Amino acid sequence: MPAEPSPTARALRAMEILRARPGVTAGELAACLGVTERAARRYVGILREAGIPVESARGPYGGYRLGRGTRLPPVAFTEPEALGLVMAVLNGHPASADVGDLVGTALEKVIRALPENVGRQAAALREHASAAPDRFSARPDPATTGALVAAIADRRRVVVAYRSESGNEWEAEVDPWAVVVRHGRWYLLCHSHRADAVRTYRVDRVRRVRRSTHAFEPPAGLDPVAALEENLGTGWEFATRVVFGAPFSEVAPWIRPPMGRLEPSEDGCVLIGSTSNPAMYAQEWLPNVPFPFRVEGGPELRAAVAALASRLAAALAVRPVDDVTRCPQSDTDGSSDVF
């Protein structure tokens, strides 16, 4: 059960309401804070005691408002908000606890700007909480991300220089629809004019962004997250086709969107997709699916699966008896000279 907000936290919230709604009545302020009118007046008193001028007027057009010329900090955090911000940053960017990290530097500035009692708690949380890095996450360049987001907001086409996981590089003119963060990785969802199809590019692999003068309109009713999930396994260099000898309903929960599109078939189901890294597909993705399967294509994925099978078979190969160092017989007390 969440903790009850402190009087200071509610007073700060009252100040935000007064700034946004000059002339708010005691009843309206109480409703916004979820307290009684008497309590709302008490929080106004806390603000006045802190030196923040709050004016009040009676009558049908009366209410509370901040005094003319009141200078307030641009952002006021309550303690739960500040702690929640630090927790979110550490969770999403573990390196922010390190000295010199870009996000960590920004977080330190925010903490220093907080009121002393709130900042003390936020600083302690940052100092004493640790986050294990996610080896699958990838942090894109902020300038590249900013350029893409600006083009999305302005609905301007861009030319991106891209380097795939396999090392291939190319340029593509795209309509940037959205940036989507998924499991610690940032993706650009776009329409590629080179392929005349929807594409998903890892933002950390975008080398350059050049804005075009052409405008575009995103699809009506676009759901960026759903569209990304649907298209993650399409458009890569190496085609994949895997047949499973189990019903679609049983296999589907084990298939990740980057693996491709799963379709029912007469004898089970078939997974059709593409990848830029056949070795990862063979070594990390397919073995996690607990059903019999047959790799029909493409040749790169078949070769990667064959190489994996050879390695595993070699790990279980029985060594010839002559190559095994024979150990002396055990002593009468049951001990032996095996080390």
> What confidence tens digit (pLDDT) does each residue in 241-300 have?
999 999 999 999 999 888 999 999 988 999 999 998 999 999 999 999 999 999 999 999
> What confidence tens digit (pLDDT) does each residue in 191-242 have?
999 999 999 999 999 999 999 999 999 999 999 999 999 898 888 889 999 9
> What confidence tens digit (pLDDT) does each residue in 1-36 have?
455 666 767 787 888 888 888 888 989 998 988 889
Helix intervals (H) in the chain:
7-20, 26-33, 37-49, 79-92, 102-113, 116-128, 142-154, 224-231, 248-251, 278-280, 299-315
Question: What pLDDT does residue 338 have?
Answer: 32
Phi, psi of 10 (to 5 degrees): -70, -35
Question: What pLDDT does residue 333 have?
Answer: 46
Give CA–CA dist 47/292, Å, rounded.
Answer: 68
Which comes out higher in pLDDT, residue 172 or 164?
A: 172
Q: What is the average pLDDT score of the chain?
A: 84
Give CA–CA dist 61/56, Å, rounded.
Answer: 11
Number of neighbouring beta carbons within 10 Å of residue 85 = 17
Least confident window among 62-76, 250-264, 282-296, 323-337:
323-337
139-152 burial code (b ≥16 CB/10 A, e <16):
bbeeebbebbeebb
Question: What pLDDT does residue 135 have?
Answer: 75
Helix axes 7-20, 37-49, angle to 10 degrees: 90
Which comes out higher in pLDDT, residue 157 or 335?
A: 157
Question: What pLDDT does residue 70 have?
Answer: 65
pLDDT of residue 133 exceeding 80, the answer is no
Give CA–CA dist 187/177, Å, rounded.
Answer: 11
Question: What pLDDT does residue 168 have?
Answer: 86
Question: What pLDDT does residue 212 have?
Answer: 92
In this prediction, residues 79-88 reach a mean pLDDT of 81
Question: What pLDDT does residue 72 have?
Answer: 60
